[in-house]
């Protein structure tokens, strides 16, 4: 065995490879240059593999890269020895290097084929991209579902708040109607007896002045109970077929004198509106209440607009809307939520009873319509009174007189200064 190894390294009886090429320069240098370039390329590949694996420690099967690096390095060394043996016949060393290269190549090839099934199960860049796109789509769906859930929760909370407000207004209306009805009967008795006392007094009696003051106070109290009955939808109405545009046009001059010269009154009346079955006097009273509140909301002046619009009703019929808009200061949300309540007012003591908007609310409800607020980014505020067309109103009038309709679930918020 030792003799074989010794003879492997003997070079005395061997000739260099250059002799086989007859030491022709063109052949010698062709082999030198080509083997040098091949060896350089071979040696650069392991350096690149080592750099890649060292910077990507999460790479799968990283040891396979190192196996390829050893195999390719051995291949590059064989080409360097091919240059060396052109002049020095170290064929034993060349054989050892080739033996090492053979072992490395066989080990790498066997490991590669064993590893092939597992490597094929790894996702490709296209598969990874598709998986990422599917994941992003799932994330978008989840975000949209969360946004829809948040919107549904917000809508549910708003509906619950409106329901609580509706129940509150209904309870206040029932209590107010009962108290106002009984108090109105008492006032009728008081006024009747005051009238009898006045008839029994001499014409020159000094008590007549005090008696007239008492009558005026009782009449003011009767007016207040009338407004309370309007809020509770118990006031007696005299509905007739009414052209709302004509009613507003004839009422406009009176409104201009009421709101003063600092406020400009504008009308925007839609043509061809259906007739409605309402009490025209109460309609004028409701518009007057809204106009006065709008005037108080514009202390520096502004524009008051009364508009009419065609409006489909919730039952699928036709109707119309009367919109009263101002360019004033508006109200805070916490004030708006209570402004339709009886006796709630933002005005100083003695300047408002807090029954103006309550009366408007009750009149709209008793007439089969509603009073709502139009939200928007425009300056000022707008309140809308809606009424069903005459055909629907005629069919429902007797039912409303016998059984007043309850406050709807969406109780509107006031937008004008409560008066």
Please state which of the ranges 66-75, 271-280, 404-413 shows the lowest mean pLDDT. 404-413
Arithmetic mean of pLDDT, 126-152: 91
Under the banding of pLDDT at 50, 70 and 90, the label for residue 124 is: confident
More confident residue, 3 or 48: 48
What pLDDT shows up at residue 154? Answer: 87
d(CA 226, CA 222): 6
pLDDT score for 339: 59
Range among 13-22, 103-112, 144-153, 180-189 with highest mean pLDDT value: 144-153
Helical segments of 238-330, H only: 244-259, 280-296
Is pLDDT at 416 greater than 60 in this prediction? no
| pLDDT value at residue 1 | 60
**What's the pLDDT at 414?**
34
Give the C-alpha separation, 419 to 352, whole Å. Answer: 5
Average pLDDT of the residues in 142-149: 92
Which three-class secondary structure string do you get for 116-140?
HHHHHCCCCHHHHHHHHHHHHHHHH
In the chain, what percentage of residues exceed pLDDT 70? 73
CA angle 276, 279, 284 (to 5 degrees): 100
- Please give the pLDDT value at position 207: 78
316: exposed, middle or buried (C-beta count within 10 Å: 0-12, 13-18, 19+)? exposed
- Rounded mean pLDDT of 297-304? 86
Alpha carbon dihedral 211, 212, 215, 221, in 10-degree steps, equals -120
pLDDT at 6: 67
**CA atoms of 226 and 363, how far apart (whole Å):** 11
Mean pLDDT of the chain: 77
Rounded CA separation 65/42 (Å): 14
* CA distances for 151 relative to 158, 184, 404, 414, angstroms: 10, 47, 35, 24
Predicted confidence band of residue 175 (pLDDT cuts 50, 70, 90): low
- Chain-centroid distance, C-alpha 133: 26
Q: What is the CA radius of gyration of the chain?
A: 50
**How is residue 403 annotated by DSSP?**
S
Name the residue with higher pLDDT: 349 or 152. 152
Provide the percentage of residues in the chain whose pLDDT is more than 90. 14
Residues in the chain, overall count: 419
Burial class of residue 383 (count of CB atoms within 10 Å of its CB; 0-12, 13-18, 19+): buried
Q: Which of 221-225, 274-278, 279-283 has the highest mean pLDDT?
A: 274-278
Tell me the average pLDDT across 371-378: 70
Choose the most confident range, by mean pLDDT, from 15-19, 193-197, 384-388: 384-388
Q: What's the half-sphere exposure (Cβ side, CA atoms, 13 Å) at 187?
A: 19
Write down the pLDDT at residue 392. Answer: 44
* Range name among 53-67, 114-128, 295-309, 395-409 with the lowest pLDDT average: 395-409
The answer to whether 70 touches 109, Cβ cutoff 8 Å, is no
How many Cα atoms within 13 Å fall on the side-chain side of residue 354? 15
Higher pLDDT: 52 or 165? It is 52
- CB atoms near residue 60 (< 10 Å): 10
Q: Which pLDDT score, from 0 to 100, does residue 189 have?
A: 78
> What's the mean pLDDT in 98-106?
89
pLDDT at residue 417, rounded to an integer: 35
Task: Give yes or no for residue 138 having a pLDDT over 90.
Answer: yes
pLDDT of residue 196: 78
Angle at 385 (CA atoms; ends 379, 387), nearest 5 degrees = 150
State the average pLDDT over residues 1-28.
77
Write the DSSP assignment of 354-381 as a string of letters. Answer: S-HHHHHHHHHHHTT-EEEE---SSSSE
Read off the pLDDT of residues 247-270 as tens digits, 9 standing for 90 and up: 998 888 888 888 888 889 999 999
Return the pLDDT at 322: 93
Is residue 174 predicted with pLDDT exceeding 80? no
* 266 contacts 399 by C-beta, under 8 angstroms: no
Rounded distance, CA 206 to CA 210, Å?
Answer: 8
Enter the tokens of residue 337.
């939520």
Confidence label for 33 from pLDDT (cuts 50, 70 and 90)? very high
Token pair of 390 as six digits: 């005459």
396-413 pLDDT, tens digit each? 444 344 333 333 333 333
- Across the range 105-118, mean pLDDT stands at 85
Contact 340, 419 (CB under 8 A): no
* Residue closest to 76 by CA, chosen among 30, 31, 29, 37: 37
pLDDT confidence tier of residue 378, bands split at 50, 70 and 90: low
Please write the tens of the pLDDT for every residue from 304-353. Answer: 999 999 987 655 568 899 999 888 877 666 666 665 666 566 555 445 55
Backbone φ and ψ for 303, nearest 5 degrees, come out as -125, 130
Residue 407 has a pLDDT of 34
Longest dimension (CA), the chain: 168
> What domains can be seen in the chain, in order of their start residue?
2-120 (no CATH), 236-419 (3.30.565.10)
């Amino acid at each position: 065995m030792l003799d074989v190894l010794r003879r492997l390294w003997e070079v005395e009886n061997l000739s260099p490879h250059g002799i086989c090429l007859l030491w022709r320069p063109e052949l010698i240098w062709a082999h030198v240059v080509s083997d040098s370039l091949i060896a350089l390329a071979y040696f650069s590949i392991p350096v690149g593999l080592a750099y890649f694996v060292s910077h990507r420690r999460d790479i799968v099967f990283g040891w396979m890269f190192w196996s390829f690096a050893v195999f390719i390095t051995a291949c590059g060394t064989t080409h360097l020895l091919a240059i060396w043996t052109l002049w020095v016949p170290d064929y034993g060393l060349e054989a050892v290097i080739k033996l090492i290269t053979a072992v490395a190549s066989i080990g790498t090839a066997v490991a590669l084929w064993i590893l092939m099934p597992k490597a094929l199960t790894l996702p490709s860049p296209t598969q990874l991209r598709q998986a990422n796109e599917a994941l992003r789509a799932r994330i978008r769906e989840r975000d949209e579902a969360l946004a829809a859930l948040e919107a549904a929760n917000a809508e549910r909370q708003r509906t619950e708040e409106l329901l609580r407000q509706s129940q509150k207004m209904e309870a206040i209306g029932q209590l107010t109607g009962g108290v106002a009805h009984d108090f109105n009967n008492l006032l009728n008795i008081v006024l009747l007896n005051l009238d009898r006392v006045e008839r029994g007094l001499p014409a020159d009696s000094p008590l007549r002045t005090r008696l007239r003051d008492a009558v005026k106070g009782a009449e003011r109290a009767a007016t207040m109970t009338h407004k309370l009955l309007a809020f509770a939808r118990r006031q007696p109405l005299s509905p007739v077929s009414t052209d709302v545009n004509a009613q507003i046009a004839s009422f406009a001059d009176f409104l201009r004198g009421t709101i003063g010269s600092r406020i400009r009154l504008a009308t925007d009346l839609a043509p061809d509106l259906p007739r409605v079955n309402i009490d025209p006097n109460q309609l004028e009273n409701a518009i007057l209440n809204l106009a006065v509140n709008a005037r108080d909301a514009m202390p520096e002046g502004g524009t008051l607009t009364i508009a009419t619009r065609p409006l489909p009703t919730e039952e699928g019929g036709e109707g119309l809307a009367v919109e009263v808009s101002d360019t004033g200061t508006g109200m805070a949300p916490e004030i708006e939520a209570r402004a339709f309540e009886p006796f709630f007012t933002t005005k100083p003591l003695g300047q408002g009873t807090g029954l103006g908007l309550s009366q408007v609310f009750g009149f709209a409800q008793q007439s089969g319509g509603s009073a709502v607020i139009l939200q928007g980014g425009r300056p000022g505020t707008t309140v809308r009174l809606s009424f069903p067309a005459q055909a629907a109103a005629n069919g429902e009038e007797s039912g409303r007189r016998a059984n007043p309709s309850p406050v709807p679930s969406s109780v509107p918020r006031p937008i004008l200064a409560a008066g």
